């Protein structure tokens, strides 16, 4: 009982770390649009890609700890913790390789390497937004710092129940988590199908089980944004800034990730210990939507006069990008004492993934 309570407390603590740190970092990427929407999209995608890859690995892992399918109305409920490890290459990106058009390095001789969300807590290079027609520096800002995350933990509650036909239905979720102006929610659904029921010869082998699985998981996160025209000040190079509203409300950043997986599983289920493994296909995608109205700065030169103004842009960012699509491999071990199960496994896809779990399993 003490072990179970400690595991639940650990998962709750990791969820707080996950939500507070990552949602905070997500909300800060809105600063990238200071330099224009096109360049802002490139910077946001480069910064958040490791998060999408890591969370995609988490979403497609941790579904199974045996190939055995529950008997009719047999069920389990398991607290699972997955943790994806970003490689060193995912901790930074090169600004010069993004094809930026309106943003430049303030010092062309400085390093162009900036941290991703996984990278250093030190801010990246200073960027300057130049308006070409006016040859005017409109604003300068540092590339957003990272979180220096060695691993992305994701705790989940998973349940499965057996139904007729050698089928097990599965689901998992994270209860909606809200903190200040941030929210996080996860749900997933899947199935497991016993294939040995159609192979009489193998079906008679003791302790051997084989199945196929399919699953879908989605995590939704959002954070309120406060992006006001005051970030530009009142003057640019002595030129007064015109236009814009006094205050902008209802700004929000939504970052949603989803994962699909299909696997073939094999396990050897002894009375106390189970060895299991599988191979399959997984896919994960990320969408980033910045909703609301945002004041962006612009300049114009006509008849020898330069004007600087605020232009309102509604829903300026709508990104969709694929994180990973390919094979994944899983291997693990489970211990069962009466109805209590403890398992651990390793999954290899684009990122390495470790999973551990504690559960109750019947039939």
Cα separation, 130 vs 122, whole angstroms:
24
Domain residue limits at 26: 2-362
Write the CB contacts of 67 (distance below 8 Å, at least 6 apart in sequence): 192, 209, 210, 211, 265, 266, 267, 269, 276, 278
The answer to whether 173 and 157 are in contact (CB under 8 A) is yes
Tokens (6 digits) for 30: 């809105």
pLDDT-derived band at 123 (thresholds 50, 70, 90) equals confident
The answer to whether 354 and 82 are in contact (CB under 8 A) is yes
pLDDT-derived band at 347 (thresholds 50, 70, 90) equals very high
Helix axis angle, 2-28 relative to 37-60, nearest 10°?
Answer: 160
Write the CB contacts of 294 (distance below 8 Å, at least 6 apart in sequence): 30, 33, 227, 248, 251, 312, 313, 314, 316
Q: How high is the pLDDT of residue 2?
A: 52
Q: How high is the pLDDT of residue 17?
A: 52
Higher local confidence (pLDDT), 315 or 185: 315
pLDDT-derived band at 29 (thresholds 50, 70, 90) equals confident
| Per-residue pLDDT at 200 exceeds 60 | yes
| Ordered DSSP codes for 212-251 | EEEEEEEEEEEEEE---GGGG-SEETTEEEE---S----E
Percent of the chain's residues with pLDDT above 90: 52
Mean pLDDT across the stretch 173-199?
86
Cα separation, 85 vs 74, whole angstroms:
34
Lowest-pLDDT range of 23-32, 65-74, 144-153, 164-173: 23-32
pLDDT-derived band at 114 (thresholds 50, 70, 90) equals very high
Compute the mean pLDDT over every residue in the chain, rounded to the nearest whole number.
87
Domain count of the fold of the chain: 1
The answer to whether 37 and 296 are in contact (CB under 8 A) is yes
| Per-residue pLDDT at 328 exceeds 90 | yes
Tokens (6 digits) for 292: 């609301």
Percent of the chain's residues with pLDDT above 70: 91
- The 8 Å CB, 24+ separation contacts for 302-311 are 306/134, 306/136, 306/239, 307/239, 307/242, 308/136, 308/138, 308/236, 308/239, 308/240, 308/241, 308/242, 309/241, 309/242, 309/243, 309/244, 310/229, 310/232, 310/241, 310/242, 310/243, 310/244, 311/243
Cα separation, 197 vs 264, whole angstroms:
15
pLDDT-derived band at 26 (thresholds 50, 70, 90) equals low
Cα separation, 91 vs 150, whole angstroms:
10
The pLDDT tens digits for 275-325 are: 999 999 999 999 989 999 999 998 887 777 888 899 999 999 998 988 888
For residue 192, give the nearest of 271, 267, 284, 272 by alpha carbon: 267
The answer to whether 336 and 307 are in contact (CB under 8 A) is no
């Amino acid at each position: 009982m003490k072990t179970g309570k400690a595991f639940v407390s650990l998962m709750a603590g990791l969820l707080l770390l996950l939500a507070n740190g990552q949602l905070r970092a997500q909300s800060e990427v809105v600063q990238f649009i200071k330099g224009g929407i096109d360049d802002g999209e490139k910077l946001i995608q480069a910064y958040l890609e490791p998060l999408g890859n890591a969370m995609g690995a988490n979403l497609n892992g941790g579904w199974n700890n045996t190939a055995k399918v529950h008997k009719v109305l047999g069920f389990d409920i398991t607290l699972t913790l997955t943790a994806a490890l970003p490689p060193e290459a995912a901790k930074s990106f090169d600004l010069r390789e993004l094809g930026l058009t309106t943003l430049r390095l303030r010092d062309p001789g400085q390093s162009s390497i900036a941290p991703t969300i996984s990278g250093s807590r030190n801010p990246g290079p200073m960027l300057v937004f130049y308006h070409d027609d006016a040859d005017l520096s409109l604003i300068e800002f540092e590339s957003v710092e990272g979180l220096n995350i060695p691993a992305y933990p994701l705790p989940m509650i998973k349940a499965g129940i057996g139904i007729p036909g050698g089928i097990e239905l599965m689901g998992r979720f994270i209860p909606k988590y809200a903190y200040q102006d941030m929210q996080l929610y996860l749900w997933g659904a899947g199935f497991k199908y016993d294939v040995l029921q159609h192979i009489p010869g193998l079906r008679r082998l003791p302790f051997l089980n084989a199945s196929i699985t399919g699953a879908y998981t989605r995590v939704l996160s959002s954070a309120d944004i406060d992006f006001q025209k005051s970030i530009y000040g009142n003057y640019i190079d002595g030129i007064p800034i015109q236009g814009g509203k006094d205050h902008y409300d209802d700004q929000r950043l939504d970052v949603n990730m989803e994962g699909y997986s299909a696997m073939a599983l094999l396990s050897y289920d002894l009375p106390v210990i189970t060895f299991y493994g599988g191979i399959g296909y997984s896919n994960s995608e990320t969408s980033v939507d910045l909703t609301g109205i945002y004041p962006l700065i612009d300049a114009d030169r006509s008849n020898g006069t330069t004007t600087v103004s605020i232009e309102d842009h509604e829903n300026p960012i709508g990104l969709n990008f694929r994180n990973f699509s390919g094979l994944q491999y899983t291997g693990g071990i489970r211990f069962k004492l009466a109805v209590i199960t403890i398992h651990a496994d390793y999954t290899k896809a684009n990122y390495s993934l470790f999973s551990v779990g504690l559960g109750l399993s019947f039939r």
